[in-house]
C-alpha cells in the first residue's frame, strides 16, 4: 500500500494453509458478522447460479466469507484485505474450502486490477463490510480503540503508510481541524486541535490514553454529556485519514458496480454517515435515468443501470444489537445490476 490514499497493497493471491480448517483463528469465537443473514439473502438470487463468483472486499476475520462459501456451495470466493494478519487468520478459517477461496492482499479500490489478474471479467456478487474489523478493535496494540491505552497507529495495513501519531505530530493545525470536522463531524475541532498543538510542542504524541485525556480536558462540560466517549469522533477522523478510507471508498463502490454482471448484486454495510452517504449517492445515481427531460421515449443508453434492493438503509434488529453491540451503527444498502453500460 502507498500513502494515505490507499494505493496498491499488492494483488498476489495469498495461499491458504494446508489444514482442514477445523481450528478457528484466535478470537473467532467472539467475532459475530454483522447482519449476516440479511446480507446473504440480498445476494442469494445472484449467487445461486452455477459458477457464480462473489467478492468479499473486506475479508476481516472471514465470517461473512465463510458463510458465503457455506450457503452457496457452487460459488467461488475472491476475498480482499489490506491487513496481513487478517489474511493469515482468515486463511486458516477458510482452508477447508480449498481452491474455492482466493485471498488477496489488496485494498478494495484495487478490485478491477485484482479481477484482471485472476482472469475474472465479471462477478455475480460483491460484499463490503466497512469500518474497523473486530480483530483490529480487539488488538490493543493497533490503537483503534479509545477505551484502552495503546500506541497511536491505526493503520489497517501495518506494512506501509503513516500512523495516527505521525498525523497528530506533523500536520499543520488547519489540516487537523479540517480532518476532525470532515471525517469526525467534530464541532469542537478547533478547541481540540489547539490543545493538540500546544501539547505536541512539549512532547510528541505516541499513545492513545494521552490523546483521550487531552480531549476530555479540552471539551466544555456540555459537549462531554452527549454522544458517548468524547474521543470517539477524533479517533474516527484519524482512522479515516490514516487509511484514506473515504477516498478509497469513492473509487471502490463505482468499481464494484462496474464489475457486476447483469443480474449481479452488491451489498454494503456502513457504520457512519459519511460512508453511508457516499454509498447512497452512487446507488441512487446508478438507479436514475440520465435522459434529458422531456424525451417521449428514453433511449437505452439513458436507462438506469441499477435497481435498488433496499428501501433506504436497512438497520440491524434489536435482537442482533443485543447479541453484538458493534452492529448498532450498521446501515445496509443493496443494489442489482440490471443493464450493461452502453
pLDDT of residue 38: 96
pLDDT of residue 160: 78
The percent of residues above 70 in pLDDT, for the chain, comes to 84
Domain at 141-243, CATH homologous superfamily: Putative methyltransferase TM0872, insert domain (1.10.150.170)
Per residue, what are the HEC states of the chain?
Answer: CCCCCCCCCCCCEECCCCCCCCCCCCCHHHCCCCCHHHHHHHHHHHHCCCCCEEEECCCCCCHHHHHHHHHCCCCEEEEEECCHHHHHHHHHHHHHHHHHEEEEECCHHHHHHHHHHHCCCCEEEEEEECCCCHHHHHCHHHCCCCCCCCECCCCCCCCCCCCHHHHHHHCCHHHHHHHHHHHHCCCCHHHHHHHHHHHHHHCCCCEHHHHHHHHHHHCCHHHHCCCCCCCHHHHHHHHHHHHCHHHHHHHHHHHHHHHEEEEEEEEEEECCHHHHHHHHHHHHHHCCCCCCCCCCCCCHHHCCCEEECCCCCECCCHHHHHHCHHHCCCEEEEEEECCCCC
**pLDDT tens across 138-179, in order?**
455 555 566 678 899 888 887 778 999 999 999 999 999 999
Sheet holding 101-105, edge to edge: 13-14, 101-105, 76-81, 53-56, 123-129, 260-270, 331-337, 306-308
Annotated binding-site residue? 194: no
Q: Which residues contact 238 (CB under 8 A, 6 or more apart)?
A: 152, 154, 164, 167, 168, 179
In angstroms, the CA 145 to CA 164 distance is 12
CA nearest to 236, candidates 202, 283, 270, 205: 270
**pLDDT tens across 252-274, in order?**
999 999 999 999 999 999 998 99
* Largest interatomic CA distance in the chain: 69
Contact in structure between 108 and 80 (CB atoms under 8 Å): yes
For cell 440520465, the residue is 290
25 has a pLDDT exceeding 90: no
The Cβ of residue 87 has, within 10 Å, a number of other Cβ atoms equal to 21
342 has a pLDDT exceeding 70: no
pLDDT of residue 230: 85
Annotated binding-site residue? 143: no
How is residue 163 written as a grid cell?
500512523
**pLDDT tens across 322-333, in order?**
998 888 999 999
339 has a pLDDT exceeding 50: yes
Annotated binding-site residue? 83: no
How is residue 109 written as a grid cell?
479500490
pLDDT of residue 7: 38
In angstroms, the CA 262 to CA 306 distance is 9
Contact in structure between 106 and 34 (CB atoms under 8 Å): no
Confidence at 225, pLDDT banded by 50, 70, 90: low
* CATH 1.10.150.170 boundaries in the chain: 141-243
For cell 497493497, the residue is 9
Contact in structure between 307 and 283 (CB atoms under 8 Å): no
**pLDDT tens across 64-98, in order?**
999 999 999 999 999 999 888 889 999 999 999 99
End-to-end CA distance of the chain: 33
pLDDT of residue 177: 97
Out of 37-41, 47-51, 140-144, which region has the weakest mean confidence (pLDDT)?
Answer: 140-144
- Domain 13-135+245-337 is found in CATH 2.60.120.10: no
pLDDT of residue 269: 96
Annotated binding-site residue? 12: no
CB neighbour class for 301 (10 Å; exposed up to 12, middle 13-18, buried from 19): exposed
Q: Identify the top-confidence range among 20-24, 215-219, 289-293, 338-342.
A: 215-219
Annotated binding-site residue? 153: no
In angstroms, the CA 259 to CA 266 distance is 10
183 has a pLDDT exceeding 50: yes
* CATH 3.40.50.150 boundaries in the chain: 13-135+245-337
How is residue 235 written as a grid cell?
479517533
Show the CA angle centred on residue 240, arms to residues 54 and 93, nearest 5°.
Answer: 40
Q: If you average pLDDT over every residue of the chain, what do you get?
A: 86
Amino acid at each position: 500500500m502507498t500513502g494515505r490514499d490507499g494505493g496498491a497493497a499488492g494483488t498476489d493471491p495469498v495461499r491458504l494453509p494446508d489444514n482442514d480448517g477445523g481450528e478457528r483463528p484466535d478470537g473467532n469465537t467472539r467475532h459475530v458478522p454483522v447482519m449476516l443473514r440479511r446480507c446473504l439473502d440480498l445476494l442469494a438470487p445472484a449467487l445461486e447460479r452455477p459458477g457464480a463468483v462473489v467478492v468479499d472486499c473486506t475479508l476481516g476475520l472471514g465470517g461473512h466469507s465463510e458463510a458465503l462459501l457455506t450457503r452457496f456451495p457452487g460459488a467461488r470466493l475472491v476475498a480482499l484485505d489490506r491487513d496481513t494478519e487478517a489474511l493469515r487468520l482468515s486463511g486458516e478459517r477458510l482452508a477447508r474450502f480449498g481452491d474455492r477461496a482466493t485471498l488477496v492482499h489488496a485494498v478494495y479500490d484495487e478490485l478491477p486490477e485484482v479481477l484482471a489478474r485472476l482472469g475474472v471479467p465479471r462477478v455475480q456478487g460483491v460484499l463490503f463490510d466497512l469500518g474497523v474489523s473486530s480483530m483490529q478493535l480487539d488488538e490493543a496494540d493497533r490503537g483503534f480503540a479509545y477505551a484502552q491505552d495503546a500506541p497511536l497507529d491505526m493503520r489497517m495495513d501495518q506494512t506501509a503508510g503513516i500512523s495516527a501519531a505521525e498525523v497528530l505530530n506533523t500536520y499543520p493545525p488547519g489540516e487537523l481541524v479540517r480532518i476532525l470536522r470532515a471525517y469526525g463531524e467534530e464541532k469542537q475541532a478547533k478547541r481540540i486541535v489547539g490543545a493538540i498543538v500546544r501539547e505536541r510542542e512539549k512532547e510528541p504524541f505516541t499513545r492513545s490514553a494521552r490523546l483521550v485525556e487531552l480531549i476530555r480536558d479540552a471539551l466544555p462540560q456540555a459537549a462531554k454529556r452527549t454522544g458517548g466517549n468524547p474521543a470517539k469522533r477524533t479517533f474516527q477522523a484519524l482512522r479515516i485519514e490514516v487509511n484514506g478510507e473515504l477516498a478509497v471508498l469513492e473509487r471502490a463502490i463505482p468499481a464494484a458496480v462496474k464489475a457486476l454482471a447483469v443480474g449481479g448484486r452488491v451489498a454494503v454495510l456502513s457504520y457512519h454517515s459519511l460512508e453511508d452517504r457516499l454509498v447512497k449517492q452512487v446507488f441512487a445515481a446508478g438507479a436514475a435515468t440520465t435522459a434529458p427531460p422531456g424525451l417521449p421515449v428514453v433511449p437505452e443508453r439513458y436507462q438506469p443501470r441499477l435497481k435498488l434492493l433496499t428501501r433506504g438503509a436497512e438497520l440491524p434488529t434489536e435482537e442482533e444489537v443485543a447479541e453484538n453491540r458493534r452492529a448498532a451503527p450498521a446501515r445496509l444498502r443493496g443494489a442489482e445490476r440490471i443493464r450493461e453500460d452502453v
